[in-house]
A and B are shown apart, each in its own frame.
Chain A
């Protein structure tokens, strides 16, 4: 091939790669603009203050109650519960796999854990209804096991493979020299894991938790099935709740086109989008601060 042809090929490929990059960014921007545009139509009709401070989400009522507060609290409850379960469980499992488990055991456990990620969310929701629900009702002596804690448990299970896999990679990537340094100073294996290896892998662990959080916040089908779908202000983990995602999924199919209710669903989607975005930026900020201590 002549030099000229090779240079031309270079230019063409650069253009192709540029184009694919821009398409991805344009798609993301497009989604955000579409959400924003439709939710502006909503805020023209409903005052933002009512949207954030009210306590009712009841679009069917006479005057139409569009308050995101109960949905936001529901999402927050379910997410908080799920993260409280899944983060320690995930990180300790990852530490076990990376630092303690025999290589043979690890080679069996890791694929099994990764397979958890392949279970469809509707199947997990099903388990929530027939298994976890009755079980919760039994333990706490309540009528209905479809509530926030049920959703938290299921989401924790769903986020586990993500958190374990990425945390395990992060812990594994800590150089052997750090462990040797700690051991040579007379630290025990436990002290080395808790005071050196896990802190050293913190930027990676934060990334793992962020991805897990993204999964938990965005999950729809499981929470729709297992949390009882009550769009009222919950007062605790044992109340039935309805998350933002479940609300959109349930109502979007039935709402008349371009009504206040229709636009309201876009508005709550924007809020969800902003929450995930800001949490991710926050995580990024903290992991960058920690990276200063690494070579």
Chain B
């Protein structure tokens, strides 16, 4: 696939696939197009009028950009967690019920679905007594786990994460990483990260990008121990970027 903003080509001939139930990390220096690539998977670029994409993106056999698919069902299938925790200015409970109501889940199932998602996101014990509390009153790490729970509650197939720990302290980061490892049993996860150690700790596959191109895509161990390209070796060893 290729992606343009106006005349500028941001992504060049990217060809990549993400195996089911694995964690793939996208790494590379700032501005190399990782987040842009990630956001094209759930059509977040639809919001910017000058973005243009050619090529094909598929989930299972479904064309992501096909006109017949509604973008709303697609985004239910491909959830996204953002860099800065962005809870909606509502209560904890409403943050989770929002998506469920949008997708017309039966009203009587909603409380159970919410409890289940909060448990899976390791948040239930911390918030079960104060579900009516404004979500912004939670700590940064809790907010981010809430955002993950909000995505998980819709039972997507893929979860996209855009540097989900970059605004968090090491302890919260650790919790999110544990969470990611437990979530991959049920979901395919694609995560953008700047943190090499994090990429090594959590990924099955790693893709290294540079200046809008996919340089190398391989198992985690190969990328960090025996990279095929010099560029990759220099980057993972911290010689640039």
Q: A181-B82, A191-B102, A292-B134 are in contact. Are A186 and B88 (CB under 8 A)?
A: no
A295 close to B (CB within 8 Å) = yes
Contact A177–B82 (Cβ < 8 Å): yes
The stretch of B122-130, B146-154, B170-178 in contact with A is: B146-154
Q: Judging by beta carbons under 8 Å apart, are A181 and B44 in contact?
A: no
Are A185 and B99 interface neighbours, CB within 8 A?
A: yes
Distance in angstroms from B46 CB to nearest chain A CB is 8
In the assembled complex, the CB of A258 is this many whole angstroms from the nearest CB of chain B, namely 55
Complex-state Cα separation, A182 to B135, whole angstroms = 15
List residues of B (74-115) whose CB comes within 8 Å of A's CBs.
Answer: 74-76, 79-80, 82, 84, 86-91, 98-99, 102-103
Return the CB mask of B31-75 against A: 1 if under 8 Å, else 0: 000000000001010010000000000000000000000011111
- Answer whether A178 and B47 are a contact pair too, CB < 8 Å, given A187-B102, A293-B136: no
Q: Which residues of B contact A183 (CB under 8 A)?
A: 44, 47, 75
Q: How far is the CB of A161 from chain B (nearest CB, A)?
A: 27
With the chains together, A195 CA to B94 CA distance in Å? 11
Tell me the total A-B contact number using a CB cutoff of 8 A. Answer: 74
Chain A nearest CB, measured from B217 CB (Å)? 25
A186 with B147: in contact, given A181-B86, A292-B134 (CB under 8 Å)? Answer: no
Chain B contacts of A191 at CB under 8 A?
A: 102
Known A177-B82, A187-B72, A188-B72; contact A182-B88, beta-carbon cutoff 8 A = yes
Q: How far is the CA of A184 from the CA of B43 in the complex (A)?
A: 9
Contact for A184 among B73, B75, B136, CB less than 8 A: B75
Q: Are A186 and B99 in contact (CB under 8 A)?
A: yes
- Determine whether the beta carbon of B154 is less than 8 Å from that of A186: yes
Complex-state Cα separation, A178 to B84, whole angstroms: 11
Which of B72, B82, B87, B91 interacts with A186 by CB under 8 Å?
B72
Candidates B74, B76, B90; contact of A293 at CB < 8 Å: B90
Kindly identify which residue among B84, B89, B134, B151 contacts A185, using a CB–CB cutoff of 8 Å.
B151
A-side contacts of B150, CB under 8 Å = 181, 185
List residues of chain A with CB within 8 A of the CB of B89. 178, 199-200, 293-295
Residue of A nearest to B49 (CB): A102
> Considering the chains assembled together, what is the distance between the CA atoms of A293 and B143 in angstroms?
13
In Å, the complex CA distance between A213 and B134 comes to 30
Shortest CB distance A177–B (Å): 4
A230 to B118, CA, bound (A): 63
0/1 string, A189-228, CB within 8 A of B gives 1 = 0010001100110000000000000000000000000000
Chain A nearest CB: distance from B40 CB in Å?
A: 13
* A180 on the B face (CB < 8 A): yes
A188: chain B residues at CB < 8 Å are 72
B127-142 interface code vs A (CB 8 A; 1 in, 0 out): 0000000111000000
Expressed in whole angstroms, the minimum distance between the Cβ of A203 and any Cβ of chain B is: 10
A293 to B90, CA, bound (A): 6
**CA A35 – CA B71 in complex, angstroms?**
61
Contact B88 A200 (CB under 8 A): yes
Known A180-B44, A294-B136: A186·B86 in contact at CB below 8 Å: no
- Tell me how far the C-beta of A208 lies from the nearest C-beta in chain B, rounded to whole angstroms: 18
Residue numbers in B under 8 Å from A186 (CB-CB)? 71-76, 99, 102-103, 154
Give residues in B with beta carbon < 8 Å to A. 42, 44, 47, 71-76, 79-80, 82, 84, 86-91, 98-99, 102-103, 134-136, 147, 150-151, 154
Known: A181-B147, A293-B91, A293-B136. 12 other contacts (CB 8 A): A178-B88, A180-B44, A180-B82, A182-B88, A184-B79, A185-B99, A185-B102, A187-B98, A187-B102, A188-B72, A191-B102, A293-B89
- Subset of 29 A-B contacts with CB under 8 Å: A175-B86, A177-B82, A178-B86, A178-B88, A178-B89, A180-B44, A180-B47, A180-B82, A181-B86, A181-B147, A182-B98, A183-B47, A184-B44, A184-B75, A185-B98, A185-B99, A185-B154, A186-B73, A186-B75, A186-B99, A186-B103, A188-B72, A191-B102, A195-B98, A195-B102, A199-B90, A293-B134, A293-B136, A294-B89
